[in-house]
Homo-oligomer: A and B are copies of this chain.
Amino acid sequence: MAEEKKLVEEITSMEEDFAQWYTDVVKKAELVEYSSVRGCMILRPYGYAIWENIQRQLDAEFKKTGVENVYMPMFIPESLLQKEKDHVEGFAPEVAWVTHGGAEPLQERLCVRPTSETLFCEFYSNIIQSYRDLPKLYNQWCSVVRWEKTTRPFLRSMEFLWQEGHTAHATAEEAQERTIQMLNVYADFCENVLAIPMIKGKKSEKEKFAGAKETYTIEALMHDGKALQSGTSHNFGDGFARAFDIQYTDKNNQLQYVHQTSWGMSTRIIGAIIMVHGDNSGLVLPPKIAPVQIMIIPINQKKEGVLDKAYELKDRLGKDFKVKVDDSDKSPGWKFSEQEMRGIPIRIEIGPKDIQANQAVIVRRDTREKIFVSLDEIESKAAEVLEKMQSDMLERARAHRDAHTYVARNMEEFEQIINEKPGFIKAMWCMDEACENTIKEKTGATSRCMPFEQEHIDDHCVCCGKPAKVMAYWGKAY
């Protein structure tokens, strides 16, 4: 019992200190461990297994749209990074520089890739000659490095895992279509698999990617009312193509520049899973992404037949689900806490009395609802509960987001909301960067996106009062 208390006591409650709650969960659920390399985290087996599940499912979606995987070098020569002016300005301040190989100084410094546009551009300029070579739809799964001052597990770290897709197209229309297509792949994946509803929209000029013509984003609302940019898709137009001379001969034998896109999603999204679904007992993982979906916990496991029954259930359920039996010599209470901390979607309790009654107890992680089921129909009942939990989690996250989305018509309202009600603010905007800066200075909120789903809230910019051009989402963000 002392032990049981300890496990729960070690998590700070969300309401008391959300940031500390997050750090506690990440550590106690054994997702990450710190290393002696400043700002770099170790992904432990449980954290990495979540990433493997994300990777496998997202990769399959990419491939359905014709995307192929490649692997590019992790180093970028300084001269290559400098070829596109906006791009180098955006990234040079935050890259790690390799200056020596063994004992020898290098003739040219190499940066560790913060992103690989420049490498893909050089590659494309070598392999694209004719319209027959287009489109190129390449992606890579790798790690990238950004020299951040302050870091937090998953949300911001010096090195992180991600995928970066890079495509080249014959026409501007095709590039724009691909940009939106991949944004939709991300949004659908987040909703259907991670149970996180997303706002889809365009970034402002100020917030767009270094070198992009346009950046699109999916934005999610965390439990504490802060926004998290969860995936981005960029249309580069022919800007990089001109800087790197990526040309093809069209059907009329004319030289043309290609049009490019890139799009990425990273381990950051694991931070979203934690902060959207977690509670004061720890993680809550959507069934479709959970490394373990069912934990069978034998009660009175030393009684004859109990463990055998638990293993039998595991074999039966193992055909359709990822199942484990906790047959350790810890107390059931401790096992419950541990399964809750790790966010395992359902636990199945089975003891001597249950066996006698030919039943078991299914307990949902999210609602803690207890469901007594006959052992004869445990497979179908488990499937039902997991499916219900998956859709309930999405609905709950959507309800939370909608309840924390506010409308502001002037700065007074805006500031009041920011100070009293953390969440998204919908407000009209003249699209002038000056207003964006003013809002940030006064409130700490940034423009999250100009959503595809526009609403007409008012005629005037929330900040300057001039005629508004667009409705935007605003909020404090990770």
Contact = CB atoms under 8 A, between A and B. Distances in A.
A345 to B, nearest CB: 20
Given A48-B70, A70-B44, A36 B77 contact: yes
A210 to B, nearest CB: 14
Interface string A52-91: 1000000000000000111111111100100000000000
B96 A97 contact: no
Contact of A73 (B41, B122, B126): B41
A112 B75 CA distance: 11
Interface string A117-156: 0010011001100000000001000110101000000000
Max count, chain B CB within 10 A of own CB: residue among A75, A99, A126:
A75
Nearest to A59: B52
A71 B42 CA distance: 6
A379 interface: no
B95 A97 contact: no
Question: How many copies altogether?
Answer: 2
Most chain B CB inside 10 Å of its own CB: which residue of A41, A96, A99, A126? A96
Contact of A71 (B36, B48, B92): B48
Interface residues of A, number: 51
Given A33-B126, A127-B33, A102 B147 contact: yes
A44 B147 CA distance: 29
A30 to B, nearest CB: 9
Contact of A68 (B45, B93, B99): B45
Nearest to A103: B93
Contacts of A36: 77, 80, 122
A403 interface: no
Contact of A122 (B35, B74, B95, B100): B35
Nearest to A140: B48
Contact of A69 (B33, B45, B95, B145): B45
Contacts of A76: 37
A354 interface: no
A8 interface: no
Contacts of A72: 35, 42
Contacts of A80: 36
Q: Which of A71, A95, A97, A122 has the most CB of B within 10 A?
A: A71
Contacts of A98: 96-99, 112
A245 interface: no
A74 B143 CA distance: 9
A441 to B, nearest CB: 25
A23 B98 CA distance: 29
Contacts of A123: 33, 35, 42
Contacts of A77: 36-37
A49 interface: yes
Given A37-B77, A75-B37, A126-B33, A70 B42 contact: yes
A177 to B, nearest CB: 21
Contacts of A68: 45, 48-49
A32 to B, nearest CB: 10
A326 B95 CA distance: 44
A164 to B, nearest CB: 14
A157 to B, nearest CB: 9
B43 A71 contact: yes
Given A35-B72, A70-B48, A100 B96 contact: yes
Interface in A233-283: none
Nearest to A95: B102
Contacts of A110: 37, 96
B93 A102 contact: yes
Kindly list the 9 A-B residue pairs having the minimum CB-CB distance in the complex, ordered from nearest.
A40-B73, A45-B68, A101-B147, A43-B71, A97-B100, A37-B73, A99-B99, A93-B102, A96-B98
13 contacts: A33-B127, A35-B119, A40-B74, A42-B70, A43-B71, A45-B70, A48-B69, A74-B112, A74-B145, A96-B100, A97-B98, A98-B99, A99-B99
Given A37-B110, A95-B102, 8 more contacts: A41-B73, A45-B70, A48-B69, A71-B161, A73-B159, A96-B110, A97-B99, A97-B101
